[in-house]
């Protein structure tokens, strides 16, 4: 604790002592006020044809963004290749032409892939901050084949599952490649003003010896406000508002089959009747700022199964990322420092609705759903349990976030989850305040209010959670508590760090969010110092460490840790990182385990355009959590991944994970196992592909095979046909083969977007 307080004082009062780059003996020389501007002119409707050929007269007369600089790995150096970007607009669209010159066209990296799968290629694109408030930007990127990638950029991270409608075509020439882009104004939100002024970053990525990035605007590494350094495009006048009605009906057919006894090859395989289903989504743009959407009887099944995770020795519910398109649009608005909204807790809704957008300088998000198969994550002192039920529930989430000066904001978040006469309500305030240039105070305070279900048959746990006598089971108790997170952050070119306090009372539950455990107060910090050698081997070196202590509400130490780490970026697109749990002490169910030390290494290699991959290896001591009492064992965790692209429209993605745990070093194994997953995709054209996922899980002795054919006219008009097959590994004998199919499903789905 004393060490943490000492470093906190250093963090608060050191000012700019480390602001200078010791490798060069100079401070960052970039003038962050040098933001380029471009005045955009209006063209006639239909004057631009999106074909990758710039033969329309308007391209000769419109203004051009040029004089790009290299921002990675160079620090605002003159670009080694030329990039010109032209812009114009008409009543309906913003038009952009990217002209990417190259003196080594034979080294161009380009693949024919599905949407959003082109980020290892050469690509170019634009980030559009339509409100010019430095909070959020639309991302649109394209590779030399015109493969589209899009997302939402925020300071908290990129949401790359976001999809929008736009048109693009590309062509490759002897000395350059060109992309033409048309972005409908109805696809984006912007202020309700007669004249618009947008912040714009234009970025080109060129992976060769290093993964080089060029930017129209200079970007200072000593300024973490990326969007505040964007260039400006102006000249838009009286743009059409984003009002429009969209209908997204779907039809689904499926057949499910299962074996009566999954371990008996002779048992009957039952095929259920073919089932059909209909549903519809309705979206309406109330203005250029605000969009409402409702989905009735939505199909929220996933066309690709979740990758299996090794959780044998884990004490917490597994977290799976959201993949369903309805919840991905606007997901960034519901993000906060704590996972208050985790949309996978709306598991199988009969209907859902949401309102997303902006009113003046306030981001607005509202989400509701009626769930037919309600899941619960019940957190406790040492982990959390996942329960899936057939109960019906109603969930609501409201998010408001008011922009303040710069990247600062203050927000409100609230959720309400009702199941019968029980409820869970979480309300809170959060914010970020930037001061003294490089410092931020990020915080979130939450109140938890729960009236449990009164049904021990669903969840029974008599473990006391507080001094009042409440227990963890579902027995109709009323619980309330207050918690949150508070962090002082420094972000700069060289020295970055954070001092944080996290609080979760034993009564805390988030039924519409994710919570791995509760009953703790945690104080910690991390610091890192980045060096830019710029020699023939290294591009970036970052030693760092994090340390902290965690107490339970009864005053006992739960965890103590000190973790020195490093990150090294080499030339040739090779990254190496590692760390060591030098101090790792933990109280697990009243057994205090000391010196649970282990170390790890992680490497990524993207040198070749044909094969990329990497590996992770962790070795040392682990707490054996599935035995009582728990004790310290010895184990290792290994993972390897490799992506092979033998031709430019075939991709083989392979991932292998292995975990082994023993009672002690070189002693009896408690368990060992692996998961292997292969995803093979063949892209016939930009619009349709064939994909096959195969996964073997030795822990569950199961083998999954999921073929899928997909045709995408756009991200929303889609036809799928595929199947899922679950096979049990029962072992080979004279009477039967090794694998026995226990479940399967055939399905076909068609949905079509109508725009009115």
**Number of other residues whose CB lies within 10 A of the CB of residue 1:** 9
Does 194 score more than 90 pLDDT?
A: no
Distance CA 692, CA 697 (A): 17
What is the per-residue pLDDT for 243?
62
What's the CA gap between 149 and 484, in Å, rounded?
A: 35
Alpha helices in 221-295, H assignment, sequence order: none
Give the C-alpha distances (Å, rounded to integers) separating 595 from 312, 631, 633, 634. Answer: 22, 12, 11, 12
DSSP string of 548-568, one letter each residue? EEEE-TTS-EEEEEEEEEEEE
Please say if the pLDDT value at position 95 is more than 90.
yes
Give the lowest-confidence range in 16-25, 86-95, 429-438, 457-466.
16-25
Token pair for residue 515? 């919570």
Rounded Cα–Cα distance for residues 372 and 390 (Å): 7
pLDDT band at 304 (very low <50, low <70, confident <90, very high): low
Among residues 383, 304, 394, 380, which one has the least CA distance to residue 347?
A: 394
Q: What is the average pLDDT across 683-701?
A: 94
**pLDDT for position 8:** 46
Mean pLDDT value across residues 671-680? 95
Q: How far apart are CA 494 and CA 75, in angstroms?
A: 13
Query: Can you give the pLDDT at residue 156?
Result: 74
Q: Is the pLDDT of residue 740 over 50?
A: yes
pTM as predicted:
0.86
In angstroms, the CA 717 to CA 128 distance is: 25
Task: Look at residues 684, 709, 729 and tell me which one is the last residue of a structural domain.
Answer: 684
140: in domain: yes
To 10 degrees, the CA torsion angle through 371, 373, 378, 384?
-120
pLDDT at 324 over 90: no
Q: Mean pLDDT across the stretch 413-441?
A: 95
Please tell me the distance from the alpha carbon of residue 121 to that of residue 401, in angstroms, as a whole number: 36
What residues have CB less than 8 Å from 148, skipping those under 6 apart? 115, 116, 140, 141, 142, 166, 168
| Segment 596-623 mean pLDDT | 96
Q: Is residue 2 predicted with pLDDT exceeding 70? A: no
For the segment 330-345, the average pLDDT, to the nearest whole number, is 91
Which of 45-49, 78-82, 598-602, 706-710 is predicted with the least confidence, judged by mean pLDDT? 45-49
Neighbours of 405 (CB within 10 A): 10
pLDDT above 90 (res 318): no
Where among 237, 260, 277 does a domain terminate? 237
List the structure tokens of 37: 């501007």
Write down which residue in 684, 712, 740 finishes a domain: 684
Ranges 31-35, 41-45, 128-132, 221-225: which has the least confidence: 31-35
d(CA 618, CA 634) in angstroms, rounded, equals 11
Greatest mean pLDDT range, 19-33, 125-139, 290-304: 125-139
* CATH number for the domain harbouring residue 193: 2.60.40.1190
- Report residue 452's pLDDT band, with 50, 70 and 90 as the boundaries: very high
**pLDDT at res. 29:** 33
Number of domains in the chain: 2
Q: For residue 31, is pLDDT > 60?
A: no
**What residues contact residue 634 under an 8 Å CB cut-off, 6+ apart?**
620, 621, 622, 661, 662, 663, 664, 665, 666, 667
CB 341 within 8 A of CB 397: yes
Q: pLDDT-derived band of residue 504, with 50, 70 and 90 as boundaries?
A: very high
pLDDT of residue 302: 60
SS3 (DSSP) at 4: helix
pLDDT at 305 over 70: no
pLDDT for residue 69: 96
Domain that holds residue 622: 530-547+567-684
User: From CA 384, how far away is CA 453, in angstroms rounded?
Assistant: 17
Inside any domain, residue 617: yes
Mean pLDDT of the chain: 90
Q: Which of 10-14, 397-401, 605-609 has the lowest mean pLDDT?
A: 10-14
What is the arithmetic mean of pLDDT over 502-506?
A: 97
State residue 19's pLDDT score. 38
d(CA 321, CA 334): 14
pLDDT in tens, 254-265: 999 999 988 888
In a domain, 217, yes or no: yes
What torsion do the CA atoms of 672, 675, 676, 678 make, to the nearest 10 degrees?
Answer: 180
- Position 468 pLDDT exceeds 80: yes
Residue 611 inside a domain? The answer is yes
Residue 12 pLDDT: 44
Domain-located, residue 393:
no
Asked if residue 172 has pLDDT above 90, the reply is: yes
Residues 701, 680 contacting (CB under 8 angstroms): no
Residue with tokens 């059409």: 240
> For position 696, what pLDDT does the model report?
96
pLDDT digits (tens, 9 = 90+) for 629-638: 999 999 999 9
State the distance between the two ends of the chain, measured CA to CA, in whole angstroms.
62
Q: How confident is the model at residue 240 (pLDDT cuts 50, 70, 90)?
A: confident
pLDDT confidence tier of residue 1, bands split at 50, 70 and 90: very low
Sign of CA dihedral 184, 186, 191, 192: positive
Q: Is residue 223 part of a domain?
A: yes
Does residue 63 fall inside a structural domain?
Answer: yes
Q: What number of other Cβ atoms are within 10 A of residue 419's Cβ? A: 22
Residues 721 and 750: beta-carbon distance below 8 Å:
no
Q: Which residue do the tokens 């807790």 mark? A: 345
pLDDT at residue 16, rounded to an integer = 43
Please, what's the largest Cα pairwise distance for the chain?
79
Is 713 part of any domain?
no
């Amino acid at each position: 604790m004393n060490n943490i307080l000492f470093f906190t004082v250093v963090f608060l009062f050191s000012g700019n002592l480390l602001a200078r780059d010791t490798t060069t003996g100079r401070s960052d020389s970039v003038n962050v006020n040098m933001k380029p501007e471009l005045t955009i002119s209006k063209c006639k409707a239909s004057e631009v044809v999106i074909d990758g050929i710039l033969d329309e007269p308007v391209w000769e007369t419109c203004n051009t963004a040029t004089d790009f600089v290299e921002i990675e790995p160079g620090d605002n150096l003159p670009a080694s290749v030329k990039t010109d970007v032209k812009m114009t607009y008409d009543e309906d669209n913003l038009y952009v032409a990217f002209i990417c010159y190259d003196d080594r066209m034979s080294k161009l990296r380009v693949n024919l892939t599905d949407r959003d799968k082109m980020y290892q290629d050469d690509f170019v694109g634009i980030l559009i901050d339509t409100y010019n408030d430095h909070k959020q930007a639309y991302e649109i990127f394209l590779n030399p084949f015109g493969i589209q990638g899009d997302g939402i950029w925020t300071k908290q991270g990129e949401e790359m599952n976001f999809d929008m409608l736009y048109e693009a075509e590309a062509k490759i020439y002897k000395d350059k490649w060109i992309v033409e882009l048309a972005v409908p104004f109805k696809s984006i939100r912007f202020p309700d003003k007669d004249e618009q002024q947008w912040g714009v970053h234009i970025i080109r990525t060129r992976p060769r010896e290093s993964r080089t990035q060029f930017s129209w605007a200079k970007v200072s590494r000593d300024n973490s406000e990326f969007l505040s350094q964007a260039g400006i495009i102006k000249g838009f006048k009286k743009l059409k508002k984003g009002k429009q009605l969209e209908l997204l009906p779907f039809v689904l057919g499926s057949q499910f089959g299962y074996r009566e006894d999954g371990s008996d090859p002779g048992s009957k395989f039952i095929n259920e009747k073919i089932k059909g289903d209909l549903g519809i989504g309705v979206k309406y743009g109330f203005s250029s700022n605000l969009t409402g959407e409702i989905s009735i009887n939505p199909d929220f099944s996933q066309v690709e199964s979740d990758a299996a995770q090794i959780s044998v020795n884990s004490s917490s519910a597994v977290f799976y990322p959201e993949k369903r398109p309805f919840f991905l649009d606007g997901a960034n608005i519901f993000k906060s420092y704590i996972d208050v909204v985790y949309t996978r807790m709306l598991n199988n809704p009969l209907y859902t609705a949401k309102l997303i957008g902006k009113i003046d300088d306030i981001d607005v998000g509202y989400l509701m759903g009626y769930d037919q198969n309600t899941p619960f994550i019940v957190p406790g002192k040492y982990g959390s349990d996942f329960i899936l039920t057939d109960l019906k529930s109603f969930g609501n989430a409201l998010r408001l976030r008011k922009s303040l000066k710069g990247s600062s904001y203050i927000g409100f978040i609230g959720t309400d989850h009702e199941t019968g006469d029980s409820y869970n309500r979480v309300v809170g305030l959060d914010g970020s305040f930037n001061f003294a240039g490089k410092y931020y105070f990020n915080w979130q305070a939450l109140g938890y209010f729960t009236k449990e279900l009164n049904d021990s048959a669903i969840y029974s746990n008599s473990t006391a959670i507080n001094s009042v006598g409440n227990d963890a089971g579902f027995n109709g108790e009323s619980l309330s508590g207050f918690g949150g997170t508070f962090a002082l952050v420094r972000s700069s070119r060289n020295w970055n760090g954070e001092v944080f306090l996290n609080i979760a009372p034993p009564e805390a539950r988030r039924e519409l969010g994710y919570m791995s455990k509760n009953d703790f107060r945690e104080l910690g910090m991390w610091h890192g110092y980045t060096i830019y050698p710029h020699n023939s081997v290294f591009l970036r070196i970052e030693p760092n460490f994090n340390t902290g202590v965690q107490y339970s509400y009864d005053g006992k130490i739960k965890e103590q840790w000190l973790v020195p780490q490093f990150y090294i970026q080499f030339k040739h697109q090779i990254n190496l990182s590692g760390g060591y749990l030098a101090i790792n002490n933990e109280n697990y169910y009243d057994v205090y385990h000391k010196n649970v030390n282990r170390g790890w290494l992680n490497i990524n290699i993207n040198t070749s355009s044909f094969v990329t991959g990497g590996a992770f290896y962790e070795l040392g001591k682990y707490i054996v959590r599935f035995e009582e009492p728990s004790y310290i064992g010895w184990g290792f965790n290994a993972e390897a991944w490799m992506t092979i692209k033998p031709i430019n429209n075939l991709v083989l993605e392979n991932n292998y994970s292995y975990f082994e745990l023993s009672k002690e070093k070189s002693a009896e194994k408690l368990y060992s196992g692996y998961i292997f997953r292969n995803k093979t995709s063949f892209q016939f054209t930009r619009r349709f592909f064939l994909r096959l996922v195969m996964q073997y899980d030795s822990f569950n002795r199961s083998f999954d095979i999921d073929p899928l054919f997909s045709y995408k006219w756009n991200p929303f008009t889609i036809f799928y046909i595929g199947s899922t097959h679950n096979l049990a590994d029962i072992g080979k004998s004279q009477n039967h083969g090794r694998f026995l199919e226990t479940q399967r499903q055939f399905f076909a789905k068609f949905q079509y977007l109508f725009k009115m």
